[in-house]
Amino acid sequence: MKTNITLAELKQLRNYKNNIMIIDVRSNEEYNEQHIPFAENLPIEIIEAGNFIPEPGRIIITICGKGGGRSERAASYIREHNNNKTYFLDGGTFEWIENEK
């Protein structure tokens, strides 16, 4: 089962689906420094405490700084506790910002 998506796949998903939720799982401070414009901030601690219940049917994409650490952990948690398709973004926020320059 595929658990990650690339930047190109994310852009394509956003063009064809409107039921996607992009979650930046970094701290509020990290998020406020720089973030992907359409990402919502929900720190991983809140997710792992069980305080996030996604709307049924929504596709969840988790994002951290470089992609893979916290975002992979958060995506795994959401998949295990909910019935949503959930992926983490390879390269994370930093790759997005680099590609948008």
Q: For 4-52, what is each residue's pLDDT tens digit?
A: 999 999 989 888 888 999 999 999 999 999 999 999 999 999 999 999 9
State the CB neighbour count (10 A cutoff) for residue 69: 15
Query: What is the C-alpha separation between 99 and 94, in angstroms, rounded?
Result: 9
At residue 62 the predicted structure's pLDDT band, cuts being 50, 70 and 90, is very high
At residue 100 the predicted structure's pLDDT band, cuts being 50, 70 and 90, is confident
pTM: 0.93
| Single-letter amino acid code for the residue at 57 | G
**3-state SS class at 25:** coil
Query: What is the C-alpha separation between 75 and 87, in angstroms, rounded?
Result: 6
